Amino acid sequence: MTWFMVTTLVTLAVSCKKDAAQPERSSDTKEAATEALPAHFKVAYYAFDATPNQLPLTQFANDANVVVLFEGTAWEMADSAHYGSPNAYILNVNPNYHSYKAIKDHVKVLQQRGVKVLMNVDDAPSWNTTTPFTTYNGQGLNYQQFASFVKTCIVDSLHFDGIALDVEHLGSTAANTNFTNLVKQFGTYFGPLSSNSANTVYTAAIYSGAQAGYAIGQTPSVAQYLNFVEDMGYFQNNTTRFNRWANSIGSAKTMIGVSKQYNTLSNATAAASWLPSSGNKAGIMVFAGNVDSAYTNTIFRALN
């Protein structure tokens, strides 16, 4: 994968170029990528380190219409020469994947079925600074440059369909303006206010234990950039955690996540079928859906 930087007097642009060896998408894939977004989102996280984990991406959640790749980074897949490694965690923790190409090939299969594939993006303490990301060669990027870098990697190089923020890495530290500026800047390229609002999905997994999530889930001016937020406080009361965010940003912007580790099948299907009095919810999310395919698909089939 080729990497280049262009520095002007005002801005610095960092791009992940498309791998010359990567074949063009088939016409079927291109058509799938332009399908309208679903009315209700059925979001399945594929955790590469889930245990047990015997199923590949193409078999674990047939009822999902959104799949999130959880582990690794977009830049290591898009620019493996500088950010990737054969010893990378994502390539050694899962029995189904030992190369970035294998992951990307299965993403294309999902997209051909009409599934939107998102890449997880972890937040970090650096997001509260003016330099949220530093490149492999030590170049610090501001929030506009980092958002552009993420878009170039995920859309232009990998041809994925959006991003899912994992907002939990600041702990008890609240998000500041630097953080929210970046979250909104991602919305330039992904989600309902982007130039490709009909085809891209932008979400964030938040919960009450990470203070930075409140800057999204209880702030309509920030949440408007996202299609929806997902509560990942799996061990908390389902209705309470839904309303924690929906009361501020609306039911249509809110969903809860469930996980087999914390939610029984009856509890999870009840959450999927539950309808809030305040209006339709965004959908349902299953974290580590590849732990139990039957559990995951049953929940999606219960969604109202």
Specify if 216 maps to a domain.
yes
Specify if 4 maps to a domain.
no
C-alpha to C-alpha distance for 156 and 78, rounded to whole angstroms: 9
Specify if 6 maps to a domain.
no
* Strands 41-47 vs 283-286: parallel, antiparallel or unpaired: parallel
pLDDT in tens, 200-247: 999 999 999 999 999 999 999 999 999 999 999 999 999 999 999 999
CATH number at residue 191: 3.20.20.80
Identity at 205, one-letter amino acid code = A
C-alpha to C-alpha distance for 304 and 276, rounded to whole angstroms: 10
Residue ranges making up the domain that contains 122: 26-301
pLDDT in tens, 54-71: 899 999 999 999 999 999
pLDDT in tens, 8-33: 323 334 556 544 334 333 333 333 34
> From start to end of the chain, where are the E strands?
3-7, 12-16, 41-47, 66-70, 116-122, 133-134, 140-141, 162-166, 201-206, 228-231, 254-258, 283-286
Specify if 106 maps to a domain.
yes
Specify if 14 maps to a domain.
no
Specify if 219 maps to a domain.
yes
Q: How many domains does the chain have?
A: 1
Q: Which of 157, 257, 243 is nearest to 206 (CA)?
A: 257
Specify if 138 maps to a domain.
yes
Specify if 265 maps to a domain.
yes
